[in-house]
Structure 1
Amino acid sequence: MRGSTLAAVTTAVALALALGACGSGNGDTDGEGAQESGQESGREGAAGDGSTDGPFGPGCSDFPSEGGGSLDAMADQPFATAIADSPVLGNLADALERAGLSEELDNAEGVTVFAPANDAFDMYPDGQMDDLLKDSGRLAYLLGYHVVASEVDSSELDGGVFDSLNGGQVRVSGSRAEYTVDGYATVDCADVRTANATVHVVDMLLMPS
């Protein structure tokens, strides 16, 4: 079941990337929302309260135990800087830079990022991904869907509907054992902290509807 679902979603996202990401260039990803911490998310009044016990999930072991890109190092740095040297989120760091969003996310206060791991980018055909990476407008629109303008930790994920920076809504279900985003992406490592963000690492790119 998981394999067939993954294949279907991969095909759908690849097609959407090829067609132009359905509405890119609408100006909604200039990120003004990211500058205002505590904005309302889809779950009214939701904001991370820091009550969790730290990062958890099978993907957390992929981060280095120390040094640049480690979970400890990331906690002291703003988001884009924190992932720049990450062996887990390096592709996302590159995509944010190409989209012109790195500085914005470093300066944002109190955001949540559903951060696609490197493998999430690698599962799509090189030609389509290369075209996307060259189109900063489409790329910013897609990546804006992964960012929520308030901090949401794992205790608030189940049943949550969260407003993303590009105007879409991210839906999460599940439990600490496994959270699912938009019905197909799995959270591999939840509650990663940076100096200005809560990060949930996901195994697929999220596709705005």
Structure 2
Amino acid sequence: MKLQTLTRNGGIAAAAIALSLTLAACGEEDEPSTSGSDDTSQTPETTPEETPEESTPAAASAADQVFGDGCAAVPTDGKGSFDGMVMDPVATAASNNPLLSTLVEAVGVADLGGTLNDAPEITVFAPVNDAFAAIPPADLKGILADKALLSKILTHHVVGGKLDPTAVAGEQETLNGDTLTIEGDETGMTVSDGVVTANVICGNVPTANATVYIIDGVMAGAK
């Protein structure tokens, strides 16, 4: 009788152990995995916002720098315009401007084109065509025929440095070695050699190597 009881009790114990193991195994299977390899969720990548490029102000047009009523007669486009002249050295720039054709002819006769173009920085007081037309034809013909005199007159209209309206005012020594006196500002400017006083009709015209002031008179210099 004891043997049967032990056998029955032993079977119950074995069954209990087996059940415990089974439940433990099931518990392990039900636990969610914490392994990083099983996590399929990903944080979306963020692209930094692009900062819009700051717009740089456009360079000032050459036409915005000039002054004088005579500027209205300068071509508005092409190589003879203000924006065209700024790209070339002064003698070349003047040759493209129809207001300065007589001056350009005189510069060619005097062989000064290369000298003016090669000068690093100069200011030129450029007589407009009407200024030469005001000279009696016989006198103008005589000037154009005398290369030395013509060279003296032309260099009398050139001073050193690219001078803006503020810097040009006062006395300036010319390439001919004499002096010009410039008075006024953008509202009205004159240039005088002590004999002839000319009005600046269009000033502060930029070229590649010079600043040009177009004037309404030809200054021959002191006799």
Structure holding more helix per residue: 2
Shift of 1:131: 1.1
What is the TM-score of this pair, normalised by structure 1? Answer: 0.72
Instruction: Provide, for residues 85-139 of structure 1, a one-character-per-residue CA deviation record: whole Å limited to 9, x for no partner.
Output: 2111111111101011001101111100011111110001111101111111000
Q: In the aligned structure 2, how far is the partner of 1:138 from the partner of 1:105? A: 17
Aligned length: 157
Q: Any runs of at least 4 consecutive aligned residues in structure 1 with deviations exceeding 6 A, and if so which?
A: none
| SS of aligned partner of 2:98 | coil
What does residue 49 of structure 1 align with? none
Q: Is residue 148 from structure 1 mapped to residue 169 from structure 2 by the alignment?
A: no
Q: Deviations over 1:53-111 (max 9, x none)?
A: 50111011111000131111100000001111211111111110101100110111110
Partner of 1:124: 135
Shift of residue 175 of structure 1? 2.6
CA distance in 1, matches of 2:150, 2:156: 10
Q: What runs of 5+ residues in structure 1 fail to find an aligned partner?
A: 1-52
SS in 2 for 1:179: strand
TM-score, structure 2 as length reference:
0.68
Match of 1:202 in 2: 215
**Matched residue of 2:130: which SS?**
helix
Deviation for aligned residue 1:174: 1.8
Structure 2, gaps ≥5 residues long: 1-63
**Matching residue of 1:161:** 171
SS at match of 1:89: helix
Q: Which residue of 1 aligns with 2:68?
A: 57
Residue pair 2:85, 2:96 contacting (<8 A) in 1 also: no
Q: Distance in 2 between matches of 1:177 and 1:111?
A: 23
RMSD: 1.4
CA–CA separation in structure 1 for the residues paired with 2:190 and 2:207? 22
Distance 1:77 1:175 in 2: 26
Secondary structure of residue in 2 paired with 1:104: helix
Larger RCO: 1 or 2 (CA < 8 Å, sep 6+): 1
Q: Which has the larger radius of gyration?
A: 2
Aligned to 1:44: none
- How far apart are residue 157 of structure 1 and its match? 3.2
Tell whether the 8 Å contact from 2:124 to 2:212 is kept in structure 1 after alignment: yes
Inter-partner Cα distance in structure 2 for 1:166 and 1:62:
30
Secondary structure in 2 matching 1:207: coil
What whole-Å deviation, never above 9, does each CA across 1:129-183 have from its counterpart, x for those lacking one? 011111110000001100002121111233x100000011010112321111117
Question: Residue 189 of structure 1 aligns with which residue?
Answer: 202
Q: Quick one: distance in 1 between partners of 2:95 and 2:183?
A: 29
1:69 is aligned, of 49, 63, 80, to: 80
